[in-house]
Chains A and B, each alone.
Chain A
């Protein structure tokens, strides 16, 4: 079929407004967060479906014609998962954005894939419920994307990530069929766990058209504190110590001096003062338990030479802290044009070693690396700040990155904890997966998508 005929067919199916085919319209859909330089792959056509039946029809057609489909939520992933490397169709889910139901009796909610994660949180919180996964871009990122990337955030330390809250998925498979991966009950072991196969599959196995999510009661009280340190390693030791003391804050995030500087520079919150390191610690639970934990955590920090502890005094201060923290990635552009976020994970008791290594690499390759991360989980986001248009800088970055990933792996860690593989970590998959592992993964992909139309050339 020629391109014009395909466009006509889709326009008839979706309505004119929901099909984009001119180059100027398709160009912005070539990107997610990852910088692509001069070699840009532009989708041939962008569709904005409004119903699952439309998704089915498009998939059936694409399958017959062998056209690749890339599903896209807010396009905010850091792994290149939304890049249409083989052109084809980009399916943008911004118009399938309804919360279908919130079941207060059975503690779950059912949503379309284009619903914003932050919106789910605020809607369920109005009913005294809680959806904990909190990727830092939750103000825009969609639940479909969060499931596809198995996203998580700061609160993973206590509550886990998106993976732990998906109980059932409705998926359009490569032959256009609709399947339900499980039931809406909190428990179900009747068969293989298909749900978890789709979580984190980055759109390579099927297209999610509906998800049922588990909800839990909202904690009665929450408080945030900032602990400033004169040495980054002290803060890393404090993290280990908090864990050894069997304390369980909902968040222990770490930031280095550069991160503190950049987020204060853009947010002008007046809360983040210059320091070598800062821990953001959030505690939740009953009022009494929050008070108790705050005291005990402060005491642990004192043991590790904390220079100052600031406790958010009200909701507005808490909001300011979170707003600034969550924009930390793009705030790094205050230092240089590009920012590349790494996503490595190491055992928490090797955090100090990893931090030390990153600082060493920054000196060795003369490249700015701003460190932040969910230190409670050993999940660090070293942010390389550089100008990728400069070939020399690009090369130094690649060498430093490689060395960093090798080291994390040698500590028993992994190359990505919550961002995904996409295009950017594809070449490093063998660092953490032995050949039989990869072989099984290829077989799984082949069963679900024999024609390789779903987000080709990603992960594997």
Chain B
């Protein structure tokens, strides 16, 4: 695991050409040099040179990065901004606000997550029906697909583990329901161990020790004789991709072995000959920043008979804890995104990350664009329209 000091040369390599300004969603919203990779590198170089010190203010500034890595995708110098910024955050964990410490420590306990599931009781607060926050919550928490046991249509020898992710487990199981039903139809045996959080939010916040602890707990829950570990959340899978970097020896080998079996549900389905419901209708796809199977996802959408309307790639404004900490910027990004989708003349947008889903719903409600947000699995079980 590389520490901040190990990235000294990489930070220095930034030529400050400033091209990252053209893609950084946060910069496009704020217009400030302090919130774009070049500015972060100047700041971190300032720390290396001894001009600046890690402190509360500096931590607050580097928390303005979504770690979406859009800048890395084309950086002429090939600098991996999100890794460097994460390492810098790890260096100044002592300066994070109290609420964030609470989220990173207490909130990750299962008991708390179970309790937080009671947020669904909001239904009994009628006033929320009339405000935008209530509408956002309602959209986000209401399952689109209810679970009904399915008769197998085929036989299969496959055994898979489902990594359901916290949103599926505690807040809205719709996508998980859809996955279970899809597997049952295909005769695929699945198990869902009692996983912890993938801890991607902790990673983004720089709590790398917490990330490592949870990584081990999760990895040990996966039986060795299964064929695949299936994810429906792009970020959870990304966490598994990062696990090996934080472990050594046998544990590292275990993490690597398991990651070789990890597949996003879209990637898994596209390889199989499924009876896809021939739904017609047009949808847009919102690409989560952690998604590593964009091509397969697009293929699966087309295979399922849906008409995929191209929309430009841009940001939903959620990203880790960013949407809590930078509420206003996050809202403006979400609204802009919802508008882009509405402008493309579609009312349904598919995505594969619960936080993106939240961002898109939020954007839709705040800008009064009537968009439905779904995961692809949901539409595969409950056809369009």
Which residues of A approach B to under 8 Å, CB–CB? Answer: 20, 22-25, 27-33, 38, 40, 42, 46, 48, 74-76, 92, 94-95, 97, 116, 137, 139-141, 266, 327-334, 337-339, 389
Contact = CB atoms under 8 A, between A and B. Distances in A.
Contacts of A116: 22
B13 A333 contact: yes
A48 B43 CA distance: 19
Interface in B17-32: 17-19, 21-22, 31-32
B77 A22 contact: no
B52 A140 contact: no
Contacts of A137: 17-19
Contact of A329 (B12, B15, B51, B74): B15
Nearest to B38: A28
Given A95-B31, A330-B76, A334-B78, 14 more contacts: A24-B34, A24-B58, A27-B42, A29-B33, A31-B16, A33-B16, A42-B51, A92-B31, A94-B31, A94-B32, A137-B17, A139-B22, A140-B18, A333-B76
A140 B21 contact: yes
B19 A337 contact: no
B116 interface: no
B326 interface: no
Given A25-B61, A74-B18, A266 B32 contact: no
Given A74-B18, A330-B15, A40 B49 contact: yes
A92 B33 contact: yes
B75 to A, nearest CB: 8
A25 B40 CA distance: 10
B165 to A, nearest CB: 33
Task: Report the 5 A-B pairs with minimum CB-CB distance, sorted nearest first.
Answer: A94-B31, A28-B39, A330-B17, A330-B76, A327-B76
A20, A38, A75, A116 pick with most chain B CB within 10 angstroms: A75
A229 to B, nearest CB: 24
Interface of B: 9, 12-19, 21-22, 31-34, 38-40, 42-43, 46, 49, 51-52, 55, 57-58, 61, 74-78
Nearest to B62: A24
11 contacts: A24-B61, A27-B46, A29-B33, A31-B42, A40-B51, A75-B18, A92-B32, A139-B19, A327-B19, A333-B77, A339-B15
A45 to B, nearest CB: 14
A32 B46 CA distance: 14
Contact of B15 (A20, A33, A38, A92): A33
Contacts, number: 102
A337 B17 contact: no
A23 B22 contact: no
A28 B52 contact: no
Nearest to B40: A28
Contacts of A140: 18-19, 21-22
A85 B40 CA distance: 21
A23 B42 contact: no
Contacts of B14: 333
A233 B31 CA distance: 44
B77 A330 contact: yes
B293 to A, nearest CB: 20
Nearest to A142: B21
Given A76-B17, A92-B33, A24 B9 contact: no
A337 B57 contact: no
B18 A33 contact: yes
Contact of A266 (B33, B34, B52, B78): B78
Nearest to B61: A24
Contacts of A327: 17, 19, 74, 76
Contacts of B15: 33, 329-330, 332-333, 338-339
A338 to B, nearest CB: 8
Nearest to A331: B76
A40 B18 CA distance: 19
B92 to A, nearest CB: 12
A118 to B, nearest CB: 8
B18 A28 contact: no
A76 B17 CA distance: 6
A11 to B, nearest CB: 15
Contacts of B9: 337
B30 to A, nearest CB: 8
Contacts of A339: 15
B31 A331 contact: no
A195 B33 CA distance: 29
B51 to A, nearest CB: 6
Contacts of B51: 27, 40, 42
A24 B32 contact: no
Contacts of A334: 77-78
Contacts of A33: 15-18
B77 A331 contact: yes
B12, B17, B75 pick with most chain A CB within 10 angstroms: B17
A42 B49 CA distance: 14
A293 B14 CA distance: 40
Contacts of A94: 31-32
Given A33-B18, A74-B21, A330-B19, A27 B12 contact: no
A46 B34 CA distance: 11
Contacts of B34: 20, 24-25, 28
A28 B58 CA distance: 12
Nearest to A78: B17
B79 to A, nearest CB: 9
A109 B43 CA distance: 37
Contacts of B75: 266, 330
A266 B55 CA distance: 35
B16 A32 contact: yes
A22 B32 CA distance: 14
